[in-house]
Amino acid sequence: MKKKNTNKKILNDPISIISTGKLGSNLALALQNSKYIIKSVHSRNKLQRDWLLKNLDPKIIITDNINKAVENSKYIFLTTTDSSLKKVSQKINWKNDQVAIHFSGALPLSILDHVKKNNAKTGTIHPLQTFPSKSNYKNLYNIPYAIESDDEEVFTWIINLINFFNGKAINISSNSRELYHAAAVYSCALLSGLIATAAEMLKSLNLERDEAVEVLLPLIKTTLEAISTTGIPKSITGPYIRGDVNTIKSHISALEQYNPKISLAYNALAFASMEIFNEEKILSDSVYNEINTNLIKSIKKTLDYYKK
């Protein structure tokens, strides 16, 4: 296990956070009382700056001037949206002792190559976590972080920062980022969408979405707990792992009539999951193939419906 680096020089190098939204706010809250020095926080949004003024140490500079924010800092955290990252970074007058670190999960390190023309260095840090609000800074602790840098000193500094959060560093190459980020979206945003569509199916019980989600939450929580304790596929229950073909056919038929989009989502997810459902070889080949055949037929039927 690597020892945490407590080198005072490293800790005393000031940090600025640029384009502060939910992630940037949480980083500022987490680091403001640490041994790290937050020099300034930048936001163009007045309401966001007002929030920052109320919640951060008065010594931290809050500004809408991007170059004022970075002028006395070594490490510049770019927490802007993916679509505006390059444009925002190009507005900064980079100095040769500065380090640009972006927090995008999807964009490669090379998105900051223009920074190197001014002899600045670059790196990336992506917390594999969600931040629903600006005050979820505890979510930064004990989580994985995808990291990358082509500079040894920057890479070491990033490792030390992650050690501060008791995090797990995942060294990721730029050519792996698309699938990495897609997996993250699958596990977060699309999981929320999955639960929302499940709640939609319960409208037949005269339940509003919030009520339906409340009904489903015990099942969801128990499933997640089972995954964390027994793993996959042992946590999987239901008709697919049992090979209940008639039950599966009834789902397919009901969803085709109820909502083609939800039908397509259900069938596509089930089809993509069939190998996982049968990792322990519980299903016979004939049952396995019959389930797949029915799912594929329904997927084609729904796609033909939308082609019209």
Helix (H, G, I), strand (E, B) or coil at 286: helix
Please list, residue by residue across 143-154, b when 16 or more beta carbons sit within 10 angstroms of its beta carbon and e when fewer do: eebbbbbeeeeb
Average pLDDT over every residue of 237-256? 96
Q: What's the pLDDT tens digit per position in 57-88?
A: 999 999 999 999 999 999 999 999 999 999 99
Q: Which of the pair, 280 or 3, is modelled with greater confidence?
A: 280
Give me the pLDDT at residue 308, please: 74
Q: Are 284 and 243 within 8 A, CB to CB? A: yes
Residue type, 181: H
Average pLDDT over every residue of 244-271? 97
Q: Are 123 and 99 within 8 A, CB to CB? A: yes
Domain locations along the chain: 8-174, 186-307
Average pLDDT over every residue of 188-207? 95
Give me the pLDDT at residue 4, please: 45
Q: How confident is the model at residue 305 (pLDDT cuts 50, 70, 90)?
A: confident
Taking the CA atoms of residue 96, residue 102, residue 107 and residue 109 in that order, the dihedral angle to the nearest 10 degrees is: 30
**What are the CA-CA distances from residue 171 to residues 27, 75, 103, 111, 150 (Å)?**
21, 20, 14, 18, 11
Specify the DSSP element, H or E, that contains 158: helix 152-164
Does 227 have pLDDT greater than 50?
yes
Specify the DSSP element, H or E, that contains 18: strand 15-18
- Rounded Cα distance, 57 and 273, in Å: 49
Residues above pLDDT 70, as percent of the chain: 96
Taking the CA atoms of residue 23, residue 25, residue 30 and residue 36 in that order, the dihedral angle to the nearest 10 degrees is: 100
Average pLDDT over every residue of 174-189? 95
The two counts, helices (H) then strands (E), for the chain are 13, 8
| CATH 3.50.50.60 correct for 8-174 | no
Q: How confident is the model at residue 1 (pLDDT cuts 50, 70, 90)?
A: very low
Helix (H, G, I), strand (E, B) or coil at 98: coil
- Rounded Cα distance, 10 and 157, in Å: 7
- Rounded Cα distance, 303 and 206, in Å: 29
User: Which 8-state DSSP code applies to residue 32?
Assistant: T
Q: How confident is the model at residue 2 (pLDDT cuts 50, 70, 90)?
A: very low
Rounded to 10 deg, the angle between the 260-277 and 189-201 helix axes is 120
